[in-house]
């Protein structure tokens, strides 16, 4: 039997010359057909890419979709994949060396065969047994994403805002991903039994989730407005230098868009713009005043004057309304539907 006939299942010799050989090794794919990978910087960040992408030169370097860490493609292999590669390399080397030793002894025996003056006997230990390759199961990713600019579709398990191929994400794609996270967060308690929901409500977990959604929604909107403006405006960095978090102040952000891009955000967004102004005021007191209504909030929402120095109440309806309004403003700024 030729040496490569001893290789474990999953391995196949594709070329063999006096100077070396090439072995093809199969690696398990997920149920979705994606090749599983893991960020070398943050191992908890798992994702998957198509086999065709992995086989291309584009995968020589890639980015983690979750944190953006960029490294050589091989650095993203999982521990299971490395163990399978190591076991395959060991099996190939063992089979090849065993065969080479057998050939050496056969040639040695032939060279002295029929010699009346020299009698040579040789023996060697039995061939080493080649065990099966390391095998493992690949979990199915929770969803797939397609990067608009380069067209790569990839699989993710959680929050992901970077493209594995180019390491970039358009501002509106990143915003859409973050808004999807907020949608899911707001619906977490919908299917709970009434008793469990009442328990979470009593401990403040549900209210805190709604408040966090408002804060995170406007954090994402601020980032979108900034990145979109910087990408579309010449010398944008100079225009906003020294102005602090100008995109956190929607009025100032609108003025920049109007002056330099000719885009009237308030006019295009309509009623959603007013809702966002109120939502930004809510975010401010949540972040800077522990949710207690102050004069700045009253200036943005005059109808709340009677509630001065009381703590604001953020319910599901408020969180949903703010989320929808922020998405409308984002669409006005980018011309895309988040």
How far is it, in rounded angstroms, from Cα 100 to Cα 111? 17
* Residue-level pLDDT at 1: 47
**Host H or E run for residue 36:** strand 34-38
* Residue-level pLDDT at 87: 85
Burial of 214 (0-12, 13-18, 19+ CB in 10 A): buried
How far is it, in rounded angstroms, from Cα 297 to Cα 112? 101
pLDDT in tens, 54-67: 889 889 999 998 88
C-alpha dihedral sign at 109, 113, 115, 119: positive
Other CB atoms within a 10 A radius of the CB of residue 270 amount to 13
How far is it, in rounded angstroms, from Cα 197 to Cα 203? 10
Residues of the chain with pLDDT under 70: 1-5, 100-129, 336-338
CA 238 centroid distance within chain: 32
* Residue-level pLDDT at 97: 73
Question: For residues 269, 273, 276 and 281, what is the CA-based torsion angle, rounded to 10 degrees?
Answer: 160
Other CB atoms within a 10 A radius of the CB of residue 73 amount to 18
How far is it, in rounded angstroms, from Cα 43 to Cα 63? 13
Which one, of 175, 169, 143, lies nearest residue 158 by Cα? 143
The answer to whether residues 329 and 269 touch, using CB atoms and an 8 Å cutoff, is yes
CA 281 centroid distance within chain: 32
pLDDT in tens, 80-138: 999 988 888 888 877 777 776 666 666 666 665 666 555 655 555 556 667 778 888 88
Which one, of 188, 153, 261, 172, lies nearest residue 224 by Cα? 172
């Amino acid at each position: 039997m030729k040496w490569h006939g001893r290789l474990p299942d999953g391995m196949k010799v594709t070329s063999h010359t006096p100077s070396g050989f090439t072995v093809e090794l199969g690696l398990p794919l997920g149920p979705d057909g994606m090749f599983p990978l893991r960020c070398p910087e943050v191992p908890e960040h798992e994702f998957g890419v198509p086999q065709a992408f992995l086989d291309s030169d584009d995968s020589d370097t890639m980015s983690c979709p979750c944190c953006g860490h960029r490294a050589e493609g091989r650095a993203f292999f999982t521990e299971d994949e490395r163990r399978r590669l190591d076991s395959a390399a060991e099996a190939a080397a063992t089979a090849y060396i065993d065969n080479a030793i057998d050939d050496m002894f056969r040639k040695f025996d032939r060279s002295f065969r029929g010699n009346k003056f020299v009698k040579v006997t040789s023996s060697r230990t039995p061939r080493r047994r080649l065990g099966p390759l390391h095998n493992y199961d690949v979990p199915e990713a929770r969803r797939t994403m397609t990067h608009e600019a380069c067209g790569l579709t990839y699989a993710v398990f959680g929050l992901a805002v970077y493209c594995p191929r180019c390491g970039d994400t358009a501002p509106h794609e990143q915003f859409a991903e973050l808004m999807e996270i907020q949608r899911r967060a707001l619906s977490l308690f919908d299917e709970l039994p009434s008793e469990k929901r009442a328990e979470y409500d009593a401990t403040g977990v549900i209210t805190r989730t709604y408040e966090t959604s408002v804060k995170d929604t406007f954090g994402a909107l601020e980032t979108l407005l900034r990145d979109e403006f910087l990408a579309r405006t010449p010398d944008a960095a100079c225009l906003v230098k020294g102005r602090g978090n100008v995109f956190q102040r929607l009025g100032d952000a609108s003025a920049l868009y109007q002056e330099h891009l000719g885009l009237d955000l308030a006019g295009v967004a309509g009623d959603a713009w007013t809702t966002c102004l109120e939502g930004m005021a809510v975010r401010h007191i949540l972040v800077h005043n522990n949710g207690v209504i102050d004069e700045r909030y009253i200036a943005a929402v005059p109808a709340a004057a009677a509630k001065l120095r009381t703590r604001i109440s953020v319910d599901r309806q408020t969180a949903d309304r703010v989320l929808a309004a922020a998405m409308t403003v984002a669409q006005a700024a980018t011309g895309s539907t988040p």
